[in-house]
Amino acid sequence: MRVRIIHPTIRPQSKKRVCAYARVSTGSELQGESLENQITYYENLIKSNPEYEYIEVFADRGITGTTDNRPEFQKMIEAARAGEIDLIITKSISRFARNTAIMLETVRELKELDVEVEFQKENIKTLSGDGELMLTILSSFAEEESKNISQNTKWSMKKKFKRGELVINTKLFLGYDKDEFEDLVVNREEAKIVHRIFTDYLAGKGAFTIAKELNDEGVPTIKGGKWQESTLLQILRNEKYKGDAHLQKYYTPDYLMHRTYKNNGEVDSYYIEGNHPPIISNEMWERVQEEIVRRAEEKGNVEGDRDKYAKRYPLTGMLYCSKCGFPLRRRTWNSKHSCRKIVWQCSNYIRNGKASCSGTKVDDEIVSSLNIEEETIIEEVLKDGKKHYIYTSKNEKLEPCREPRTAEKENGSILQSVNRPIRTVIQL
């Protein structure tokens, strides 16, 4: 009998595919330098470990950790879902996420994908036995810390407002710069544009006409884009051009809701007269306000009926064009004929034509059957020769994916898709 010994085969240990996540909450120069240092540190840490295969350092700049709407963070999660990552290293729980719900949901998903997250400061590894328990406790502390920071910031801002100190970004504010003492000073070239807008309006021109003329002449906006009627009206109503300042016109109600709302008396606001050098005289500014009201009354849009007019139909202000971001307007086609049809169409296309937007259009019968309860972006998609509609929430917060349901029009020409995966959409 012959016996042959089969020795065990020693297979080489595969390297862990490792990435890191870093984040700073503001875009300041100091924090920018901190982020670069973090990126360098993690790159060296991973590459120096012979058991690790370096993937990437994902880094978000100037984004809070209470939201999951972070480009690099989402890119990292997508890479994990694609099976490209085994381990994520991050400094602390607060760097990864300050929202407990987001933290646990993300970590649990990664755990199901067999992807571990290592929090250096807390010395927690999520695939360990007690990892999730410790994570739940400590992430709650991180969320409470974020809440305290938000409350302290609001308190600080309120004190500044009471002292009459402005918090204004002049890069988004036409007509003014800031001097070395952070006081507003007139930018003479931009001030000429502001003065022209007020003068033209009092001469009888409408905001739409003024915007068109400025665009035709190539006059740049403060952001470098095109002039819009709404932008002109904002300038005409802005009290800062007569030297006053109304502080806290808008507010953020919750530290987890990174959306601002118009202040209609929910919180204190502060009005400062003669705060800075005016561009427009008080008399001219008042005449413009009277003219705005007069023109609105001529159109039947008086102040008392504004809310009623704005919500004339249940879907008014709820539907938006996916191509340009403008709201859809309810229109009646062929009103005097038997083929009468009600549609919702892009207001930018209606007012400015194809040069501004190729337009989005959807039948009122279709969209009214969906029970839409939040601001929704409507996208037209052609598939198999049929027109489909994709409905996307305009809110920043992502929602879980759900199975789509379909409703087909009687003639079979339009197949609509609803409850599609919610995608991140920029609020214009």
Rounded to an integer, what distance in angstroms lies between the CA atom of residue 100 and that of residue 103? 5
Distance CA 167, CA 247 (A): 8
The token duo for 293 is 């009201």
User: Strands 376-383 and 361-363: what pairing?
Assistant: unpaired
d(CA 2, CA 17): 45
Give me the pLDDT at residue 195, please.
94
Q: According to the model, what pLDDT value does residue 387 have?
A: 81
Residue 400's pLDDT is what? 36
pLDDT tens sequence across 225-264: 889 888 899 899 999 899 888 776 655 655 444 456 666 6
**DSSP letter assigned to residue 327:** B
- By DSSP bridging, strand 52-61 and strand 405-408 are unpaired
- Please name the amino acid found at residue 221: T
Q: What does the DSSP assignment read for 171-201?
A: GGSTTEEE-TTS-EEE-HHHHHHHHHHHHHH
Work out whether the CA dihedral 218, 296, 291, 260 comes out positive or negative.
negative
Looking at residue 382, its pLDDT comes to 82
Q: What does DSSP say about strands 319-321 and 328-333: parallel, antiparallel, or unpaired? A: unpaired
The pLDDT value recorded for residue 83 is 93
Which residues does 78 contact at the CB level (< 8 Å), separation at least 6?
none
Domain 170-306: assigned CATH number = 3.90.1750.20
pLDDT digits (tens, 9 = 90+) for 302-327: 444 444 444 567 888 889 998 888 88
Quote the distance between the C-alpha of residue 354 and its chain's center.
Answer: 26
CA dist 268 and 393 (Å) reads 31
| Cα distances (Å, whole numbers) of residue 404 to 52, 381, 390, 421, 422 | 40, 15, 10, 8, 11
Of 68, 69, 72, 71, nearest to 56 (Cα)? 72
Give the tokens for residue 229.
């009627």
pLDDT exceeds cutoff 80 at 428: no
Kindly report, residue by residue over 204-233, the tens digit of the pLDDT. Answer: 998 889 999 999 999 988 888 889 888 899
Model pLDDT, residue 257: 45
Whole-angstrom distance, CA of residue 120 vs CA of residue 92: 6
Residue range(s) occupied by CATH 3.90.1750.20 in the chain: 170-306
* Residue 98 CB-density burial (10 A; 0-12 exposed, 13-18 middle, 19+ buried): buried
Identify the CATH homologous superfamily for domain 16-151: Resolvase, N-terminal catalytic domain (3.40.50.1390)
**Given this model, what pLDDT does residue 68 score?**
61
Task: Measure Cα distances from 355 to 147, 324, 358 in Å.
Answer: 46, 12, 7
Helices and strands of the chain, counted as H and E runs: 12, 19
Q: What per-residue confidence (pLDDT) applies to 414?
A: 35
pTM of the model: 0.40
- Numbered ranges of CATH 3.40.50.1390 in the chain: 16-151
For residue 213, the model assigns a pLDDT of: 93
The DSSP code for 312 is S
Q: What integer is the mean pLDDT of 16-32? A: 77
Query: Nearest-CA neighbor of 231 among 239, 243, 223?
Result: 223
Residue 318 CB neighbours (<10 A): 19
